[in-house]
Structure 1
Amino acid sequence: MLEFAMSAPPRPPSGRRVAGAKLALKPVDVWGIRVRLQVALKARDLALFDLALDSKLRGCDLMSLTVSDLLSSTGVRSRVMILQRKTGRPVQFEVTEQTRRSLTAWLNQNNMAREEWLFPSRSKRGSHLSTRQYARLVDRWVALIGLDPTSYGTHSMRRTKVSLLYKKTGNLRACQLLLGHTKLESTVRYLGVEVDDALELSEALEL
């Protein structure tokens, strides 16, 4: 029988995270977490998990979303544009059918007004979830499927879709636009693109 306890996973002895870039989730990891959240009836967590993957937003931008950012007169939007806090530049993202379903369930469950935070804090009235609380949730999600939380983090959520897109297409410009980076070099560093990656893409081409 599956274990759905959402208690915080163990930390390294020092209480500090392991340094280095956080790993992206694999498709099997995404579905494993999603199924466990669905079965456990974690409506908020499921909506946040799905939206984090779709939006590819930094934690500060994701936590600052309001209901009106996602909701139109006909339901949850299929595309959303926001201004990034870090760069002040707009970034657009898709909201897939799966995410629209989980968001709709979350909004209906709480009868939320348009001006409310999309993910309000449960401990601090009038505030949204903090980035620290979001990080703790990500730790719990990956622990549900037996992954080591020290190897993953909020940037795992941001990186997952673009990493898969890059591996499938090699289109760094598309990844740059989705991440909202101002420079392509930032995207190269963020995805950890190496010379070997470029060579493999080139070798796959037949002239």
Structure 2
Amino acid sequence: MNTLAQTSAPYVPWNKGKLVGQKAPLRISEIWAIRVRLEIFGRLRDLALFNLAIDSKLRGCDLVRLRVIDVCHGGQVAARASVVQQKTKQPVQFELTDGTRKSIACWMATAGLRNGDFLFPSRITGSPHISTRQYARIVHQWFEEIGLDSTAYGTHTMRRTKPTLIYRRTHNLRAVQLLLGHTKLESTVRYLGIEVDDALEMAEQTDA
């Protein structure tokens, strides 16, 4: 008799009872609801983090490791920046809108950050910058504070939001691919959650 089979616990799928799949992007109204709330309550770090997450379209692992020097040139927050992605080892460029630059500058001045410092240092001893887990907790708090079901959203919501808005306005799949730093168009198709036939049609129109 196989005693191991008798004593081992029954298999339970890791995703049982959990909402999995692509996390929903934010709507314009939801972006502003979070942004205004952070401004009203003077949460300068969170405001800079939120704005930069939306503009940069970076994965959480890349966002939390940004240093001041990555987004600043000559003591000023730059209009554009470029970082090498940890996952793909490929560089990706992103824009920093005026509101984002102002919020970052305000946070840097308040926190007394210098060029070599991490942009979002951790408050936990021994950790140089906030972790991806800390970032996830912060992000879920933003969603919950404006009444969103946080199980439907996540850190990838921040990465997907602006590309989704850009795609809806322009249908320029190639532009979104470049902004996300994807090496394959198929990755962008899956990421946006659009139909393959529609994606190919848009791509053909873009290349024409």
Same fold (TM over 0.5): yes
| Structure 2: distance between partners of 1:180 and 1:199 | 19
The residue correspondences of 1:1-207 to structure 2 (distance < 5 A) are 17-194=18-195
SS at match of 2:135: helix
Change (3 A) 1:73 1:136: same
Partner deviation per Cα, 1:120-150 (whole Å, 9 max, x = no partner): 1111345111001001111000111100000
Residue 192 of structure 1 and its aligned partner are, at CA, apart by 0.4
Residue 34 of structure 1 and its aligned partner are, at CA, apart by 0.2
Change (3 A) 1:17 1:37: farther
How large is the RMSD of aligned CA atoms in angstroms? 2.0
Change (3 A) 1:195 1:60: closer
Change (3 A) 1:177 1:198: closer
Which residue of structure 2 aligns with residue 204 of structure 1?
none
| Structure 2: distance between partners of 1:184 and 1:197 | 13
Partner deviation per Cα, 1:28-54 (whole Å, 9 max, x = no partner): 000000000001110000000000000
SS at match of 1:23: coil
| Structure 1: distance between partners of 2:80 and 2:179 | 12
| Structure 2: distance between partners of 1:136 and 1:114 | 27
TM-score by length of 1: 0.86
Matched residues, percent identical?
Answer: 56
SS at match of 1:80: strand
SS at match of 1:163: helix
Gaps of 5+ in 1: 1-13, 202-207
Return the letter of the residue paired with 1:168.
Answer: R
- Count, aligned residues: 188
Partner deviation per Cα, 1:53-96 (whole Å, 9 max, x = no partner): 00000001001100111111141010001101111111000000
| Structure 2: distance between partners of 1:90 and 1:131 | 20
Which structure is richer in relative contact order (CA contacts within 8 A, separation 6 or more)?
A: 1
| Structure 2: distance between partners of 1:150 and 1:22 | 9
Give the ranges of 4+ consecutive aligned residues of structure 1 lying more than 4 Å apart after TM superposition.
Answer: 195-201
CA contact (8 A) 2:173 2:199 kept: no
| Structure 1: distance between partners of 2:196 and 2:134 | 37
